Amino acid sequence: MRPLILVTNDDGIVAPGIRALVEVASELGDVVVVAPDSPQSGKGHAITIHDPLRLNKVKVFPGIEAYECSGTPVDCVKIARYVVLKDRTIDLCVSGINHGNNLSISILYSGTLSAAMEGSLEGIRSIGFSLDNYSFDADFEPSKPWVRRVMEHSLAKPFQPGTLLNVNLPNLPADLIRGLKVCRQADDRWVEKFQEGRDPRGQPYYWLGGQYLTMDDGTDTDVWAVKNGYVAVVPAMHDLTNYRAMADLQVLENPAGR
Ligand code: MN
């Protein structure tokens, strides 16, 4: 039986990146798409609880069952799991291909990766894919063989419990992609900068911009890999416990603790 592959993203169901992902996924399994009806980049792990969600069956991809959802990427995975596919077993959840990289700590802000993380929380093997090009017209063709390689491996081999894969693809022609590296997440930051202005009614507004700051010069990071022409694969997890810090805090458990 062909595996069932759930496809979602955060750039919206009409973004070229999800089309590329659907094309690869449909070579490997039966595909169902549940994706946002509007751009949801930067929504992280947000969910919708004060408004109802809308779900419409749409014909966006030839021959593929697809739904657009009014919610966030995480809403899409939840509604796919518990409504659209409630009677079926999802073998793989893939999100993207995002227009723009999701390297380093971007995993915390990215709707693409949060959708994959939500899949992993449901015990589904899940992968987020991102191309290092923010343009709507980005060329996803060179990424496809690598996307396929990671998806095939993920369908064949079980994941460690609670694991998702964060895959970043370099924006290069096929013959210049040097290979694939399994990496750690670089320890980088965004330095935020708000642009201030006045709206047409004279009210002040603040518009978040910012600059990506590389502080980690390791050669084993996702940032290094993509900058040097490799596909970066970071195994990630939702467990944010800092196990190394637990011992330092043990004194709190002792009422007379010092
Ligand atoms: Mn996006």
Please spell the DSSP secondary structure of 82-146, one letter per residue: IIITTTS---EEEEEEEES---TTHHHH-HHHHHHHHHHHTT-EEEEEEES---TT---GGGHHH
Q: Cα(83) to centroid of ligand 1, in Å?
A: 24
For tokens 């010092």, name the residue.
Answer: 258
Q: Cα(108) to centroid of ligand 1, in Å?
A: 13
248 neighbors 226 (Cβ within 8 angstroms): no
d(CA 120, CA 174): 30
Neighbours of ion ligand 1 (CB under 5 A): 10-11, 41, 98
pTM, entire model: 0.95
d(CA 112, CA 96): 6
Q: Cα(79) to centroid of ligand 1, in Å?
A: 20
For tokens 């993380």, name the residue.
Answer: 117
Q: Cα(166) to centroid of ligand 1, in Å?
A: 14
Q: Cα(118) to centroid of ligand 1, in Å?
A: 16
Q: Cα(100) to centroid of ligand 1, in Å?
A: 7
Per residue of the chain (258 residues), give pLDDT as tens: 899 999 999 999 999 999 999 999 999 999 999 999 999 999 999 999 999 999 999 999 999 999 999 999 999 999 999 999 999 999 999 999 999 999 999 999 999 999 999 999 999 999 999 999 999 999 999 999 999 999 999 999 999 999 999 999 999 999 999 999 999 999 999 888 999 999 999 999 999 988 888 889 999 999 999 999 999 999 999 999 999 999 999 999 987 755
Q: Cα(246) to centroid of ligand 1, in Å?
A: 35
Q: Cα(256) to centroid of ligand 1, in Å?
A: 50
92 neighbors 129 (Cβ within 8 angstroms): no
**pLDDT for residue 247:** 92
Q: Cα(140) to centroid of ligand 1, in Å?
A: 14
Q: Cα(51) to centroid of ligand 1, in Å?
A: 22
Instruction: Measure the CA dihedral 55/97/18/53, to 10°.
Output: 10
DSSP state of 8: E
d(CA 232, CA 169): 7
CA atoms within 13 A on the CB side of 4: 15
**Residue spans per domain, the chain:** 4-185+218-239
Q: Cα(223) to centroid of ligand 1, in Å?
A: 18
Q: Cα(217) to centroid of ligand 1, in Å?
A: 26
For tokens 């990506």, name the residue.
Answer: 212
Q: Cα(39) to centroid of ligand 1, in Å?
A: 7
Q: How far is CA 57 from the centre of its chain?
A: 23
Nearest to 64 by CA among 28, 30, 105, 94: 30
**pLDDT for residue 68:** 98
**pLDDT for residue 48:** 97
Q: Cα(226) to centroid of ligand 1, in Å?
A: 18
Q: What is the CA radius of gyration of the chain?
A: 19
**pLDDT for residue 188:** 93
User: Which fold, 4-185+218-239?
Assistant: Stationary-phase Survival Protein Sure Homolog; Chain: A, (3.40.1210)
Whole-angstrom CA distances from 39 to 31, 35, 210, 213 are 21, 10, 20, 25
Please report the DSSP string for 16-61 in residue order: HHHHHHHHHHHHHSEEEEEEESS--TT-TT----SS---EEEE--S
Q: Cα(155) to centroid of ligand 1, in Å?
A: 24
d(CA 183, CA 101): 15
Q: Cα(44) to centroid of ligand 1, in Å?
A: 10
**pLDDT for residue 257:** 57
Beta strand pairing call for 194-198 and 204-208: antiparallel
73 neighbors 36 (Cβ within 8 angstroms): yes
